Amino acid sequence: MRLLAALLLSGCAQSASDAFVSDRTLDICLDVLPACGGSVGCVLDEDEYVEGRFPSTRRFLVATAGAADITVSILFTSRGSAGADTRVFWYEPNCADRDEWASQGVDIFREAGDDRVLARTGHVTQFGEHLVEVRSDAFADYLVKVDVEFPEE
């Protein structure tokens, strides 16, 4: 009886990855879309997520209908070395202006805490598609999702 109860309970347990993505779908980001003098693989919205491996740079677009706060959340599905330089950039559609967050040598795995999620928010001021770039010298596998909030006028 205990074994049956344990099996039933374990079947109901949700993994950290499942909880993180919820009902979002994986975007494999294989498009070739122009963005700030380069290209990206997808336009990411609140119904999708992407996966990847650091060290690397992950670039995607996020569309907004005006000034917005774009939260980039990174779930570390495996962790090796935290590295010394992790950055997130949020570009305006003109590509000249941007918001930036930098880890400045802080251990990003420690910052992520027990839930292994590092979330940072950047502010954009214009309507359009915004290049978002996440780069890190850490060694880790990850999932990334975005959430967009429009400040009240």
Residue 62 belongs to a domain: yes
Residue 17 belongs to a domain: no
Residue 95 belongs to a domain: yes
Lowest mean pLDDT among 5-9, 26-30, 103-107, 115-119: 5-9
Q: Token pair of 60, please?
A: 């995607």
| Residues contacting 138, CB < 8 A, separation 6+ | 54, 55, 80, 81, 82, 83, 86, 108, 109
Burial class (CB in 10 A: 0-12, 13-18, 19+), 21: middle
This prediction has a pTM of: 0.89
- In this prediction, residues 59-67 reach a mean pLDDT of 97
Q: What pLDDT is recorded for position 12?
A: 53
The answer to whether the CB of 83 falls within 8 A of the CB of 135 is: no
CA distance 79 to 109: 8
Residue 13 belongs to a domain: no
Residue 11 belongs to a domain: no
Cis bond leading into 55, ω under 30°? yes
Q: What is the CATH number of the domain that holds 108?
A: 2.60.120.380
Containing structural domain, residue 102: 25-149
Residue 4 belongs to a domain: no
Does the pLDDT value for residue 109 go beyond 60?
yes
Write out pLDDT tens, residues 117-144.
999 999 999 999 999 999 999 999 999 9
Number of domains in the chain: 1
Residue 20 belongs to a domain: no
Residue 134 belongs to a domain: yes
